[in-house]
Every structure is written in structure tokens, then in C-alpha cells.
Structure 1
């Protein structure tokens, strides 16, 4: 007997990991800023005790501890100050009635339109043509001088693809993100995997288009039956990629047309880089952007929007019609136009080494939660910032390792090795990217929230992703997961010094 091996048997699959959250290490496990503030409190208390007596020094020390404690105490990755400010703003918003939105003809909004609520309220939508001749929509947030374009994506998938090809795609995706760091105006890249129930309207429109008027009646009947007898509980996958640019000149900040020219010049190159990573992409028009935002806020409008997509005149909606007619933000969920949505955010990245299929269960269509949206928020650092960040991370890891008493923990040793590897890879031209994830589930208004919670937790656990519910900011998190220009870390109203 003879034995033979194939390439798939001997090829070693790649794994990914060793991601680190930047942390400035100080004494006693505190951050560097907290350590400095602690020394300031101690020195001030000693000086006051020398001048005004021991009692005055104790009073200063007590006040300093009260000020320092909320910064040191953390829960869910947030400092006490951050949690307190979020609670205060939530209660103030509810007291003012800002958590409830009512649009439509009988609302207080001029014109009676269904404008977008919350962070998207001041946004505007423009349309341009890129160098390849494709029409693209451009969402403008004037306050932040940011412009967002959305690309319709067709990922290749992993079916019937050799592992070396997948590794090449992953490498090309990393090269794409690293190239974004070479520019100074790209704020974030947000790939969104959106799943919605299959209504059958798209298939019926396609069959009607390809059916010849002079075809035999039997052939027309067969084609019609194939288009209408769609299996139940089917879910369609609608991926897209949102890219947010920041205007770097006064002309582009004040004139959206100038920014549209710059974005239109660069879009074909971005689509070509995505194609190298196995993702075919094409800019979405303003009409298409309005359609998926309206469908997200008003699930019942999906069927009408799909039918209108096949008509020459389109759906006829404007940017002022893309929002919901009603919205009520609760503590832990969002009610909007006959739907109820819950959004979770990533708390920690997958621990240990993972392969490229780690998020497959979470991203795949699931009949139990047909309306599911997963957004990966990628914020690349510039090349100059990346070099400084990896160097500081390595120094902080060394300080944390050397400050431990006795036998050094394995976690501290691994962190030093990971930061050292990051320094070497950054020096070879690799980029440094901050990343996070948002998961939004939409159910009917009377949906079973405990069931949604259990299913989402199970899917995230299978993907080795630790998530937490977005308490007190469900509306903002819902808008951020749409992939339409809302970047929560960039648009936060809480100072970073208090957030830690």
C-alpha cells in the first residue's frame, strides 16, 4: 500500500491574536495618570499638614481620595466618572423628554417629515460621481467635518476556496487597512453584515426582467411559480462597507463639492484594494443609502422599498424621509416604527489565537433572528501615531512586568512579547488599527427580549467575543451600527481624561 498527502492535509492554517489594549502602566496596578494624580494628592496633603496642621492635611487627603476614587474604580471598562456622567445625561434627557421622537405630518418638525433622530439629525446627504463613472452618496456631518460614503459589498466567502487563497485575502485586507493609515483623513472603516428576511420581491423583479414578453405561456407560468413559491424563513445577506473621511482643508470643510471631488478620485482605488482582499465593492447611490436606513428604522417598509427598487422612478424618498415616524429610547432597548431593537458592543476581543472564521457563527444568517446587523468599527492610526503608540505600549509593558513582586505572571510576559512583536511589525510597514464591534437585533414591537438576549449571547460566545449591552445610549448605538457615519468614540461627549 502507498500513502499520499494533499496540500490541504499538510498546509498549516494561520492564527491571529496578541491584540493589546493601550494602557499606561503606573504603580500598584494603576494607570500612569492615576499614579501621578495620587502623588499630587499625597504631596499636597503633606504640605498642607506642615502649614496648617495634621487635621488640615487629613481633610485635603480625604478630598483627594474622593476625587481619585471614581477615576480608579472601573466597571465594564468605564471609570466612575464616565458612568456617572452617562447616568446624569440620561436622566437629564428623560427629564426634558429628549428620549422620545415623533415625526410625521402632525409633529413639531417643520414640514412634517421623518427626519433622522439623534446624532444623525444635523446630517446632510449629497451625491457625486467617482472617477469610474459610478454615482455615490455622501453623508455629511457638519459639526465634525466628516463625510461618509457607503459601498455595496459582495464578499467571496470561504466555500470551495483553498486555504492559501484565504490567507492571501486576509493579508490583502491587512495591507488595505495599513494603507489607510498612510493618509490623514480617513477616520474609520465600518464593514456591516446586515441580514433581513427574504420577501421574494427581489426574485420576482429579477424573473420579470429576464422573462421575454413573447415567451410561451407555459414557460411564463413556470418562471412565475418559481419566483413566488419561495421557501419560508429565508434570510438575505446584505453586506456593505462605510468609509468616513475627515475634511482636512478649509475649502473641503465649507464646500462639500470639494470633498466629493477628492472622494470620487480615490474611490476606484479603494474598490480595487478591496477586490484584492476578495471583496467586490461598488459605491451606493443616495437612493440606496436612504433605502437601507429607512428599512432599518421601519422594518415594514422593506417590501415596498424592494418593489420600488425595480421601477425607473425609484422609491421617491429624500434624506428627510429616511428616519422613523416615532422612536422611544428605553434604558436597554429602542422602540421604533413597529420594531424593537437591542444593541450590544464588544467589551473585550477574542482571547488567545483565533483563525479567520472566528466570527462566522455571529455573521451568518440566522432564521431565529432574521433582522441582525453586525458592524465592525475599524479606526486606523496614522503612521506617525502608530510608531509612538507601539513604542509606548512596549515601555508600559516592561514597567508593568518589572513592577510585579516575586514570580512574574504569564500575562505580563505575554504582553511584553506581544508589544515587542507589534513594534517589529510596525517597523516593517504594518499598520495599527483600533477595532470594536456592534451587534444589533431587531424584532417586532412585541418581541421576546429575553430570547433575543439568550440567542445573541450564545452567538457571541461561539465567536469568542465578549459583549455588553449598550445601556443608556441605545439610540446612538443603533445609528452607529448602521454604517452611516456615526462613530461612537469620535462623537462622544465625555472627556477622555475622565473616561480613562
Structure 2
């Protein structure tokens, strides 16, 4: 008699739920309140002044409250109107154009970082292990960002129980690190860039002994220049943004540098548990990848400078582009064009840990592609309140449905929010998350084809994305993982978001 080993079912996960407060007929609370005020005002006007005046009052109120009730692509009418108005005003004032260089009227350097990165500063410190690290300071928000170079283990030839343990360790990392009150965001960035061969050639030259036999030197050099054409490499990094909570750290970056240095070792060890080797990036490395992102033509020179003891010699004030032009649906900079998309809806239903694999892996048709997943964790106190309120709102939404029959979607939402509430009580964290996809191509690239390829990859990942219209430059900076968090720069009042 032979026995068969039972096959363990594949572990699946949930993409989470979006907390929302629903009133009558599925309206948001601001929309329901606005609609209620319009109806009550129209009724009172009808009793006092009669039908014609009340009808005019109702139509005028509907025009005011309608943009709160009607939402397009997740945004209320007021949001879209404010974005459009400010975009038109910015184009008329030529605020979307940037011209740097030695003879530019813009102070601060020939290649100063534009837009939301203009006021940032870069400092360097050393952690308790003696490793140097770069730290980006945003003075206006009192936020500091450290960036770690990462080498994910990958899932090739790895047993599923090990992968499950890594996923659990990553969830524990987000809960432990993100649960600290001064953590503003955790942003993993997967960046694919064309391989120039300069890094491999520099490594070969470093390993070659000067008095080695000519044949051995020729063989090593042939190996160093033998990369296949259209080779694309994957670079991973992790940005952690901390918010300075004490007056001393807000005024003095050196105080925050000591705090970061104390905590870096624990962060690296926690990532090791999740199957990710990591080390802090130096200030020179941070400048290099930011400059390469704004100016793709500088990549070969920056890679060749790695072997030079003097380094590339660039400062933070030289990391930006010399010129850029922000258009409605794309961003032109230094002979390149970039398009950024944002997550419109998370993958529906249950997913596996490989749900984003097709979007993250290198693609020869999209050699310069950057995917940033933005986690904005809540503190423990906020998480408890959010989980309880979301569960309560889900129950209220099922009771507000007409016809006496509860929809299946409402039942699923109640079950999901209840599970989230239980898991939060057991120590799991609660995080808001989003995703940004940036594709950079030559200036004469076929943008419709790039959009079709990118959206096809998103569909394969069961992900719905939309183009970042009228804020391409800000979305480009946010996807770099250098401390730019778009929600913190929003200038639309909360009550107008519906």
C-alpha cells in the first residue's frame, strides 16, 4: 500500500478594505448632510414663499451639493474642479516649466531639485555599526527620510513554508515599525533600469591583478563586456519617513540623526527576518539614483564613477534636472518623458504573495519602470478606533439598504471589517497603502503604447490604475521614495472630498 502526502493548499491573503462612513442610500456623510440641507431648505422655502421660489432654491442647492454627491474616479466634483483651476493658473504663470543651468534665474544650483523637493536638504550620519547613511530633511513638514538598499531573496527554489514565514515577518515589520508614533510612511521601491555594463566592468577591473597574465586579463575583460543586449536589472530600496515630534529634533537635524542611527540596526535586522538583506544608502548613493531618475543619460557616468575613489562629486543641489516641462498627462525632463499612474483600486478578492510579480519584474519593453508601494501606518490608538468605526459603519450600511434583502457585498464587507477588528486586537497593525507606477522613456516614445503595456501588466496583477492627471511632476517625485507623500501636500479641504 502506498500513501500520498497531502498537498497543502496555497495560502491566500486579502487586500483589505477601504474605511468609509456611509449614510442613507450609500452616500458619504458630507454628501448626505449636504443633500439633507438642500431638501430641508427647499421644503421650508415652499411653505413660506410657494412653489416657484422653492423650485429655484432646490435647483440652486442641487448645483452646490451635487459635486459632493457625484464622484468620478474616486474624486468629488469639487476636488476635480480645484485641481483643474489650479492647473490652468499654474500653466498661465508658467509654473510648470523649469529652466536651470549656470545662467538660470533659479537660485540654489545648476540642477536644483524642483517642485516638492526644492526645500529638502540631505545630511549624512553613521549608525551604531559605523555604516554611513544619508538622511533627507523636509523642513516644512519636520520629516526625515532614510533609504536602505535592499536585496530581496526572491521565491526561486524556496519552499512555500519559508515564503509564508517571510510574508508573516514583513507583516510583523509593518506592525512593529509602523506602529511607532513618529513613523509617517514606509515606501518600498522596485526600480528597473537598463544595464550599461559599467558596474560589471568596474568590478572586473577591481579584481584583476596588474601583473596577471595577458590571457587571463583578456578573458576577464571579455566576461565583463559580455552582457546581452537589452539586459534590464532590478534595484530595490526601502524609504522610511520619520516625523520629528520634539522641538529639539525639529530645529536641529543632528539630534534626529542620532535617533535614526540608534534605530537603524534594529530595522535592518527586522528586514533580514523577512528575507530581505539591506543596508543604509550613503548620501552619495542617494544623490546618484535621484540624478539618474531625472537625467537618464547620466547613468553611465554615475556608474563609472563608482570605481573612482573621489566618487561622482555631485551634491544634493546637483541631483535635479536642468530643465523640465510638466504636461497634463506626462512629464518631460532632460530628453526623457515619464508617465506616472496611481492605484485606483486594490486587487479584488483573495490574492497570493505573487500578485504583483508581473508588474514588478524587469520588462525589456519597459526598461525604466519604477513601482513604489506607499504604506502610511496608523498608530496603535488610531488603529483601534478605525477598526471599530469601520465595523460599525459596515453594520449600519447593511441596515440602510432598501427592499429587506442585504446585498452579498455588504455581508462580505461586514465579515472583512470584523476580521480586521479581531486581528487588530491581536496586535496586527492598520495601514493605509497606495501604489505608484512610473515609466520613463526617450522623448520620442510612443506614449499610447506605453500606457497599453503598463495597464496590461496591471490587469494581470488584478490591479486597477489611473493616470495622475495634472500632477505628474509631484507623482514622479513621490514614486522616487525620497520622502514625498502626496496626501500630506494635498490642498483640498477634507469636507470637499466627499
Task: Compute the TM-score of the two structures, normalised by the length of structure 2.
Answer: 0.97
Distance in 2 between residues matched to 1:48 and 1:17, nearest whole Å: 50
**Contact residue 18 and residue 418 of structure 1 kept, 8 A:** no
Secondary structure of the equivalent of 1:110? coil
Q: Which residue of 1 aligns with 2:487?
A: 489
State yes or no: 1:154 paired with 2:144. Answer: no
Secondary structure of the equivalent of 1:494? coil
1:208-261 deviations in whole A, cap 9, x for unaligned? 111122221111110011101211110111100011111111111111111111
Q: For residue 55 of structure 1, report the CA deviation from its aligned partner.
A: 4.6
Q: Which residue of 2 aligns with 1:12?
A: 9
**Contact residue 181 and residue 383 of structure 1 kept, 8 A:** no
Q: For residue 34 of structure 1, report the CA deviation from its aligned partner.
A: 1.8
Question: Cα distance 1:229–1:18, how it changes in 2: closer, same or farther (>3 A)?
Answer: closer
Distance in 2 between residues matched to 1:44 and 1:249, nearest whole Å: 48
Secondary structure of the equivalent of 1:183? coil
Q: For residue 332 of structure 1, report the CA deviation from its aligned partner.
A: 0.6
Distance in 2 between residues matched to 1:182 and 1:471, nearest whole Å: 33
Distance in 2 between residues matched to 1:159 and 1:189, nearest whole Å: 26
Q: Which residue of 1 aligns with 2:383?
A: 386
Secondary structure of the equivalent of 2:64? helix
Q: Which residue of 2 aligns with 1:374?
A: 371
State yes or no: 1:125 paired with 2:122. Answer: yes
Q: Which residue of 2 aligns with 1:97?
A: 94
State yes or no: 1:352 paired with 2:339. Answer: no
Q: Which residue of 2 aligns with 1:2?
A: 2
- What are the ranges of 5 or more consecutive residues in structure 2 without an aligned counterpart? none
Distance in 2 between residues matched to 1:471 and 1:24, nearest whole Å: 27
Distance in 1 between residues matched to 2:308 and 2:28, nearest whole Å: 59
Q: How does 1:203-282 map to 2 (within 5 A)?
A: 203-282=200-279
Secondary structure of the equivalent of 2:10? coil
Deviating more after overlay: 252-261 vs 186-195:
252-261
**Contact residue 183 and residue 243 of structure 2 kept, 8 A:** yes
State yes or no: 1:433 paired with 2:431. Answer: yes
**Contact residue 105 and residue 111 of structure 1 kept, 8 A:** no
Q: For residue 109 of structure 1, report the CA deviation from its aligned partner.
A: 1.7
Distance in 1 between residues matched to 2:370 and 2:410, nearest whole Å: 36
Q: For residue 497 of structure 1, report the CA deviation from its aligned partner.
A: 1.6
Secondary structure of the equivalent of 2:362? coil
Aligned length: 497
Q: Which residue of 1 aligns with 2:327?
A: 330
**Contact residue 127 and residue 135 of structure 1 kept, 8 A:** yes
Q: Which residue of 1 aligns with 2:65?
A: 68
- What are the ranges of 5 or more consecutive residues in structure 1 without an aligned counterpart? none
1:351-402 deviations in whole A, cap 9, x for unaligned? 0101000000000001111100000001111111111111111111111111
Q: For residue 49 of structure 1, report the CA deviation from its aligned partner.
A: 4.3
1:386-444 deviations in whole A, cap 9, x for unaligned? 11111111111111111112321110110010011111101111111111100000101
State yes or no: 1:290 paired with 2:293. Answer: no
Q: For residue 38 of structure 1, report the CA deviation from its aligned partner.
A: 2.3
1:121-155 deviations in whole A, cap 9, x for unaligned? 11111111112211111111111111111100010
**Contact residue 106 and residue 112 of structure 1 kept, 8 A:** no
**Contact residue 21 and residue 390 of structure 2 kept, 8 A:** yes
**Contact residue 391 and residue 414 of structure 2 kept, 8 A:** yes
1:324-366 deviations in whole A, cap 9, x for unaligned? 0110011111110011111000000000101000000000001
1:65-86 deviations in whole A, cap 9, x for unaligned? 2211001111110000000000
Task: Compute the TM-score of the two structures, normalised by the length of structure 1.
Answer: 0.97
1:178-220 deviations in whole A, cap 9, x for unaligned? 1134311111001000000000000001111111222211111
1:449-485 deviations in whole A, cap 9, x for unaligned? 1111111011111111100011111000000000001
Question: Cα distance 1:4–1:120, how it changes in 2: closer, same or farther (>3 A)?
Answer: same
2:414 to 388, 413, 416: 416
